[in-house]
Chain A
Amino acid sequence: MSLLAVEDLRTYFFTPEGIVQAVDGIDFELEAGESLGIVGESGAGKSVAVKSLMGLIREPGRVVDGSIRFEGRELTDLSEEQLRREIRGNEIAIVFQDAMSALNPVFTVGSQLVEVIRENTGRTETEARARAIELLDDVGIPDPEQRIDEYPHQYSGGMQQRAMIAMALACDPKLIIADEPTTALDVTIQAGILDLFEDIQERYDTSVIYVTHDLGVVREVCDRVAVMYLGKIVETAPYEELYRNPKHPYTQSLLNSVVTPDATLDGIDPIEGTMPSGVSPPSGCRFRTRCPVAFDECSRLVPPRYDDGTDHDVACLLYDERNPRDEPALHERPGRGDGSAEGFTDD
């Protein structure tokens, strides 16, 4: 049995401008100890998707349909009270992008950690404090015995994020959700946090869902990756498979638009236009308005997910056997994946 099985999850926002279908029927599974990356551009619905898992969607938003089974337990049936007591923190913990706003500025880091530990494990004050120091040490805070008594503002940005991660680890959750935890940090600091995530997974044997827009980050921390576009998952595969053999035209374009340190101007071919609004998404396939290989059926049929049995599935009509046509080959440019370095005209 999977640790987490999400089926047909739909989260809508009921705004005066109309109903925003932020997450519109996504399915995925997560095994114990596995890490899944959810990538997509802003507005794709990745943050809403993970917040839905923890019941953190607030008015005017609502999970309107679907099932979230965590260790066989249906989370959508639980009350707010049950979610708070039994799930959040002790089973599933979340790390946000903005650590400073998630930490309380008027309490020391230690007292916040101790409170969480006592609340969830029933340890005594002294035991909890010892555990808190251990956790701060685990997440790489220098001199944890001293720094435990400091306030969040005395920590640097990277250390605040580490403290947040310590907070998340405090109750030995089975799943940690990380929502763009390094987006606001410098690359040198980010590198340390990414190392920490790998380390945590090994030592604590937790599963991780890592939300990010950066494929390079996914490569560092995730086993599998789900690509989201306008409320839907368009492709799921193990990371390396996805990179070497992207099937969905959106994934292919996304890989082609990534600006990396070894790409020059000619190596990049961005997708045209911007993501349409979630209020009135395109009919059929939602990517068709920007898709370079869209055909007539794309506007009529919502593409189901095609799975060729290799743990790599894609929601695109091009992969329907009844549509015999050549696979799109946008990703085949020299210098990527095949190990050759042509195409880069350095020097």
Chain B
Amino acid sequence: MSTTDSTGRDATDRADEPLLDVQDLKKHFPVNTGLFASVRFDRGSGILPFGYDDSSVKAVDGVSFELRPGETFGVVGESGCGKSTLARTILGLEEPTAGDVHFDGRSIDEIPEAEFRKRSQMVFQDPNSSLNARRKVGHIIEDPLEGAGWETERRRQRALELLEQVGLKREYYTRYPHEFSGGQRQRINLARALSINPDLVVADEPVSGLDVSVQAQILNLMDDLQTEYGLAYLLISHDLSVVRYVADRVAVMYLGEFVEVAPAARLFSEQYHPYANSLLSAVPNPDPDEPGVTTRIGGNVPSASNPPSGCRFHTRCPEFIHPDGFSVDAYERYERLLADVRDRNLEDGTGAPDSILAAYLDDSEGLPSNARRAAERAVQAAADDKWDEAEQALAEHESVCQANNPALEPVGASDRETACHLPFDGVGSEERGRE
């Protein structure tokens, strides 16, 4: 597709290079802000009885991806997974904690703000609050052009053109936002975002809150505009259906990390990551011939300020890997012992090692003998106040899901990646895909 836009940039020139290249992006928000808010009374810390609480909410925690010109990249996840923060950080609305964002080959720190603002635009979720109620629709659409120094008459012509392009009437130029429905306001938002002819549009939940028929209209419009302007979209949504509908590639996000990235059609036909699978099987489908909703995961997303160790999904994972030889119940008991050893706080800590062991492991049916010996060693070490040793002994038999956070790695066909410890039967095999 060759799209020459009015500024003379040719999309095909750059088609091989990513428009947006995000590397290991992190955004952490401190839990406490202010000079003294983080100071905690702590008897155990050295000379002064104060500690410093520097915990932070890891909203985005090491995300990498590329977005090519003309492509739509979708990010889905439950509320609180960090998808909106990711969008805001990429656009420079939040200062990243770590990582790089390259736009058209240059780091966004090196791109003059005015230029970056011209080439990237954002469409927000709430079309009601993102339009200034006191200003005429035409002027709202012209805003980015005014910033770019266009003359009044040229701006007006462009706004009128855009109104038509997004399916509104030219007469609406002089109306106010409150005269429009939610769907129409989202069209106005799109017109405003496109007025400056950007390369990248970041759309954060552009259709949630709209009626189904209006959703479909807006998504179709976004698709048409993409073809016409050669736009790249970064689409953020909690609604998998919406993402499926327009995205070329999709990333499933959980607690600040991508757990699976794949071409949209392939992701929706089979999922490798248990979270992606659980999320998809929870979407109601009106078609009675398709499977109904299944609840594969319970509970809520854990706190992002203290994410679970290892794989962040392990606390809710329906396919948690129990180490060899353990029964589910025995592993639970073993895990509790390990957690308490890590906290340096054993139940009945004053008792004899034997009684502690009995309290945790009970008759320990389904506990492999070497794990039992490790537990014995650990309890003994803990009794001697050698906590590190105790922890090490127990950690040997810990589930891989808790021990290591899996990296995003290519699986099956090379164009998809997943971050999961579950084994896959050889590269290229789709057998292990969970349907």
Contact = CB atoms under 8 A, between A and B. Distances in A.
Interface string A301-327: 000000000000000000000000000
A214 B288 CA distance: 14
Interface in A215-248: 215-220, 239-240, 243-244
Interface residues of A, number: 48
A261 B78 contact: no
B290 interface: yes
Interface string A93-132: 0000000000000000000000000000000000000000
Nearest to B220: A270
B352 interface: no
A260 to B, nearest CB: 5
Interface in B241-286: 241-242, 244-246, 265-266, 268-269, 278-286
Interface stretch (A18-26, A75-83, A185-193, A291-299): A185-193
Contacts of A1: none
B104 interface: no
Interface in A188-223: 188-192, 194-195, 213-220
A280 interface: no
Interface string B110-121: 000000000000
B211 interface: yes
Contacts of B287: 219, 243, 260, 262, 336-337
B293 interface: yes
Given A220-B284, A254-B213, A339 B219 contact: no
A158 B285 CA distance: 21
A214 B284 contact: yes
Interface string A268-290: 11111010000000000000000
Given A261-B244, A263-B244, A268-B216, A191 B294 contact: yes
Contact of A258 (B223, B269, B281, B286): B286
A111 B253 CA distance: 38
B168 to A, nearest CB: 12
A346 B51 CA distance: 56
B288 to A, nearest CB: 5
A271 B183 CA distance: 13
A15 interface: no
Interface residues of B, number: 47
B213 A257 contact: yes
A240 B287 CA distance: 8
Contact of A188 (B220, B223, B278): B278
A42 interface: yes
Contacts of B246: 265
Interface stretch (B36-44, B295-303, B361-369): B295-303
Contacts of A214: 212, 284
A207 B24 CA distance: 52
Name, among A217, A258, A259, A337, the residue most crowded by chain B CB atoms within 10 Å (CB to CB): A259
A270 B216 contact: yes
A27 interface: no
Contact of B213 (A219, A244, A271): A271
Contacts of A59: none
B286 A270 contact: no
Given A188-B278, A261-B283, A41 B211 contact: yes
A167 interface: no
Interface string B331-343: 0000000000000
Given A187-B238, A260-B244, 15 more contacts: A190-B284, A195-B295, A219-B292, A243-B288, A259-B219, A259-B244, A260-B285, A260-B287, A262-B244, A263-B245, A270-B213, A270-B217, A270-B220, A274-B214, A346-B266
The 3 closest A-B pairs by CB, nearest first: A216-B284, A270-B216, A215-B286
Interface of A: 41-42, 156, 158, 186-192, 194-195, 213-220, 239-240, 243-244, 253-255, 257-265, 268-272, 274, 336-337, 339, 346-347
